[in-house]
């Protein structure tokens, strides 16, 4: 009996650990909602972009590469893409990038808000909400 209880407890602990490390459906849903609101007009809801104008994110090696490189684009902009440092919090940037890096067949690691925050500091980008022109609504 004692052995069965120990095995059951170990199974519960393993299930809780797996649930804690896997992105939740709510996180995926939030990432998709953020993408649709902030990114889909250019990159399209399918992640396929508009050839010659806005790059595809689906299957994009850069998007699936170093998380810090991708987050830098959202924090500082790149080419014709604006920066989102004043519009999205570190949590929101991490959430939308985690979605993009795992949607449409992409397979890349999630980003954490702490990673985005540290990158903001490294790049010298003002903390979210610390600017006079923040467009957060």
- Structure-block tokens of residue 98: 């985690």
- Structure-block tokens of residue 83: 């920066």
Structural domains of the chain, ranges and CATH numbers in brackets: 24-123 (1.10.760.10)
Tens-place pLDDT, residues 12-42:
544 444 444 444 455 567 999 999 999 999 9
Better-scored residue on pLDDT, 17 or 44: 44
The whole-model pTM stands at 0.75
Q: What does each C-alpha distance from 82 to 16, 48, 73, 118 come to in angstroms?
A: 39, 19, 8, 20
Q: What does each C-alpha distance from 58 to 11, 62, 81 come to in angstroms?
A: 36, 10, 17
What's the CA gap between 89 and 87, in Å, rounded?
Answer: 7
- Structure-block tokens of residue 120: 């903001």
Phi, psi (rounded to 5 degrees) for 20: -70, -30
Do residues 128 and 90 lie in contact, with contact meaning Cβ atoms separated by under 8 Å? Answer: yes
How much is the average pLDDT of 97-111? Answer: 97
Q: What percentage of the chain reaches a pLDDT higher than 90?
A: 70
Looking at residue 29, what is its pLDDT?
Answer: 78
């Amino acid at each position: 009996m004692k052995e069965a209880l120990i095995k059951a407890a170990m199974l519960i602990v393993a299930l809780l650990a797996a649930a804690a490390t896997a992105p939740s459906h709510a996180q995926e849903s939030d990432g998709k909602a953020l993408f649709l609101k902030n990114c889909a007009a250019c990159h399209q809801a399918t992640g396929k972009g508009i050839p010659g104008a806005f790059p595809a994110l689906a299957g994009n090696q850069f998007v699936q590469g170093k998380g810090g490189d991708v987050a830098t684009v959202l924090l500082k902009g790149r080419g014709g893409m604006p920066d989102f440092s004043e519009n999205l919090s570190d949590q929101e940037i991490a959430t939308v990038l985690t979605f993009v890096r795992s949607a449409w067949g992409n397979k890349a690691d999630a980003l954490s808000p702490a990673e985005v925050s540290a990158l903001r500091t490294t790049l010298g980008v003002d903390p979210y909400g610390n600017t006079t022109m923040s467009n957060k609504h």
